[in-house]
């Protein structure tokens, strides 16, 4: 594992237009990643993430993540779609231009079910797509971690934890020591362009 002083010396030699984004630590297997995630969670960090090549069972609990709000967003959008479909058909057929045909009612629910169903699905699907992008902070064409050569293996066979310098508990010395104590294979200082602000 690289020493902290050597890493800082390399960082100082880099362009003055870069700033510390955070730290990245690498792990070989799932067990060590889960153990490390629990320790970082217990230390009180809030702006950090785990990166894996496949879904890891139990990682959400180890990280202390709360349940996503996306199901509620989709449910409310579906209700809005149903209300829109029902309201639009009532307004056009029974209120704005009532037209009596063979004694049929101006408005009846069974005749309007197909449009209500379609708008419910449409609104819910769009909300799921847009909500997922928004909650994940996407699209994001650039991320500071993309500059790490070591991080390229995250899609193949390595596991990583990154801690952002923007975390309220982040301290260069203490955070480095904590990450070093987790038993990872490599600990790296991640820089980003100062004007990127991503």
Q: Which residues pair with 24 in a beta bridge?
A: 162, 188
What are the pLDDT digits (tens) for 6-47?
A: 555 455 445 568 899 999 999 999 999 999 999 999 999 999
The residue ranking higher by pLDDT, 104 or 158, is 158
**Average predicted confidence (pLDDT) for the chain:** 90
Residue 4 has pLDDT above 80, yes or no: no
Burial status of residue 1 (CB atoms within 10 A of its CB: 0-12, 13-18, 19 or more): middle
Which pLDDT belongs to residue 54?
96
pLDDT digits (tens, 9 = 90+) for 93-123: 889 888 888 888 888 889 899 999 999 999 9
d(CA 180, CA 168): 19
* pLDDT of residue 82 exceeding 80: yes
Question: Hey, CA dihedral for 23, 25, 31, 35, is it positive or negative?
Answer: negative
pLDDT of residue 100: 82
Q: What residue ranges define each of the domains in the chain, with the CATH number in brackets?
A: 4-66+143-193 (3.30.70), 70-135 (no CATH)
pLDDT at 16: 60
Residue 190: per-residue pLDDT: 95
Q: Would you state the pLDDT for residue 8? A: 52
Chain-centroid distance, C-alpha 107: 44
The predicted pLDDT at position 187 comes to 95
* Confidence bin at 135 (pLDDT 50/70/90): very high
For residue 196, what pLDDT band results from cuts at 50, 70 and 90? very low
Residue 53 contacts residue 152 (beta carbons within 8 Å): no
Q: Which of 75-89, 98-112, 125-139 has the lowest mean pLDDT?
A: 98-112
List all residues 6 or more positions away from 190 whose beta carbon is below 8 Å from its beta carbon. 20, 21, 22, 23, 24, 144, 145, 147, 148, 162
Residue 198: pLDDT over 60: no
Q: Which of 18-32, 42-56, 136-150 has the lowest mean pLDDT?
A: 136-150
Sequence-ordered list of residues with C-beta below 8 angstroms from that of 94, at least 6 positions apart, any chain: 106, 107
Residue 55 has pLDDT above 80, yes or no: yes
Please, which pLDDT band fits residue 74 given cuts at 50, 70 and 90? very high
Token representation of residue 23: 């730290």
């Amino acid at each position: 594992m690289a020493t902290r002083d050597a890493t800082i010396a390399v960082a100082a030699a880099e362009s003055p237009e870069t700033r510390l984004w955070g730290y990245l630590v690498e792990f070989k297997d799932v067990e060590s990643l889960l153990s490390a995630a629990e320790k970082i969670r217990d230390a009180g960090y809030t702006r950090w993430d785990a990166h894996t090549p496949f879904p890891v069972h139990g990682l959400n609990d180890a990280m202390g993540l709360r349940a996503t709000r996306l199901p509620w967003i989709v449910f409310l959008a579906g209700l809005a779609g149903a209300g829109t479909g029902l309201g639009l058909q009532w307004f056009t057929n029974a209120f704005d231009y009532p037209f009596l045909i063979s004694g049929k009612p101006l408005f009846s629910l069974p005749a309007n079910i197909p449009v209500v169903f379609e708008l419910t699905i449409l609104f819910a699907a769009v909300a799921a797509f847009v909500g997922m992008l928004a909650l994940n902070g996407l699209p994001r064409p650039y991320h500071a971690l993309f500059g790490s050569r070591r991080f390229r293996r995250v899609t193949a066979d390595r596991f990583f934890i990154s801690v952002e310098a923007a975390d309220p508990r982040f301290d260069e010395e203490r955070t480095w020591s904590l990450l070093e104590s987790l038993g990872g294979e490599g600990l790296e200082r991640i820089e980003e362009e100062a004007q990127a602000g991503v």
